Structure formats: structure tokens, C-alpha cells
């Protein structure tokens, strides 16, 4: 027996250390995933418009996806979209149900930005911010899901924006 047992012992020790490192890395990654996208929040809250649209009686869940175009800092890492939403027309034809709106924002440096979902309709021709959150985040790409879940009569567009975003991508509804 040359040194074969000694080599096996060292390899087993390396394997155990590697496993512990992987376990630690997985635990850290899992903890970060639970906190994403808001590593820290400046303030957080939804807007309180003076006369908000009322939620649908039976709930408003969108089933048809639509993507916002990437524009300025409103973009995903692949620069293919600025976010997306789910929508549908209720059976009664009373308007358009907007379900969840997902917005992507790129940060080039640590900054505080207010993200908003704005709807344009016959009732709100100049736009109404139906959801907003403010985040202080570091460099990178982040997304947030806004649960709008409201029916908007005469809806013409839904837009997303963030402070200093150089644009407001919109999805039009005819």
C-alpha cells in the first residue's frame, strides 16, 4: 500500500469542505431570494387617489398577458421588455380588468426611485397612479409585482414608470 489511503482521506476531506461551502452558498442565495427585489426600502405604500376605481365584485384576475416595451431604465436584463401585465374583459363588457402588473427597473447606482402603475381611461384622461412603491436599491435589475386587480371602464392605456427612468412604456387598449 503506497499512499493510496492517505490520498483518499484528503479527497474525502475536500469533498466535505466543498459540500459545506455549497450548503452555505445555497443558504445565502435562498435568504437573498426571499428579500428580492427590495434589499432596502425607503418608504413603501400604495397611492390613495381621491376617487379610486372600485375592485370587481367577484375579483379581477387577468388571464391574457401583454408586455410593456423596454424604454430607458424600465427594462429587464435582456432589454426585451419593461414588464408585463395580465388583463381580460369581463363578460358584462363593463371595461377591462387589470390583474397583476410586473415592472422591471434598472439601477446604475444606489438610488431611491418611486415605481408607479398609471391607468388612462375616460374617467381619468390625464392618468391615475393606481399603485406605487418607493425603493432604495443598489446597482442591478429589479422587478416588482403590483396586484392591481381592478376593472377600469373606458380604459385606453396602462403605463409603468419610475423616477429618472427616461420614459414611460405603455400598453394601449382600444
Q: What is the pLDDT of residues 37-64, one digit of tens each?
A: 433 222 333 333 333 444 444 478 889 9
Q: Can you tell me which residue has the cell 408607479? A: 116
Of residues 51 and 174, more confidence is placed in 174
Give me the sheet containing 111-121, strands edge to edge: 40-43, 128-137, 111-121, 155-162, 170-172
| pTM listed for this prediction | 0.67
Phi/psi of residue 34, nearest 5 degrees: -70, -30
Q: How far is it, in rounded angstroms, from Cα 151 to Cα 153?
A: 7
Q: What does the pLDDT read at residue 20?
A: 53
Q: What are the residues whose beta carbons fall under 8 Å from the beta carbon of 69, sequence distance 6 or more?
A: 81, 82, 169
Of residues 97 and 8, more confidence is placed in 97
Q: What does the pLDDT read at residue 106?
A: 95
Across the strands, what pairs with 96? 152
Q: How far is it, in rounded angstroms, from Cα 70 to Cα 105?
A: 10
Amino acid at each position: 500500500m503506497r499512499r493510496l489511503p492517505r490520498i483518499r482521506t484528503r479527497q474525502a476531506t475536500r469533498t466535505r469542505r466543498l459540500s459545506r461551502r455549497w450548503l452555505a452558498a445555497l443558504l445565502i442565495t435562498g435568504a437573498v431570494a426571499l428579500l428580492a427585489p427590495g434589499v432596502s426600502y425607503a418608504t413603501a405604500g400604495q397611492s390613495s387617489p381621491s376617487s379610486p376605481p372600485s375592485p370587481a365584485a367577484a375579483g379581477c384576475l387577468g388571464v391574457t398577458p401583454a408586455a410593456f416595451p423596454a424604454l430607458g431604465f424600465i427594462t429587464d436584463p435582456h432589454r426585451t421588455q419593461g414588464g408585463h401585465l395580465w388583463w381580460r374583459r369581463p363578460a358584462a363588457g363593463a371595461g377591462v380588468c387589470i390583474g397583476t402588473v410586473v415592472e422591471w427597473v434598472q439601477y446604475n447606482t444606489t438610488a431611491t426611485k418611486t415605481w408607479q402603475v398609471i391607468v388612462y381611461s375616460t374617467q381619468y384622461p390625464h392618468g391615475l397612479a393606481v399603485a406605487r412603491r418607493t425603493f432604495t436599491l443598489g446597482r442591478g435589475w429589479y422587478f416588482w409585482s403590483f396586484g392591481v386587480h381592478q376593472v377600469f371602464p373606458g380604459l385606453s392605456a396602462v403605463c409603468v414608470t419610475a423616477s429618472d427612468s427616461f420614459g414611460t412604456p405603455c400598453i394601449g387598449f382600444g
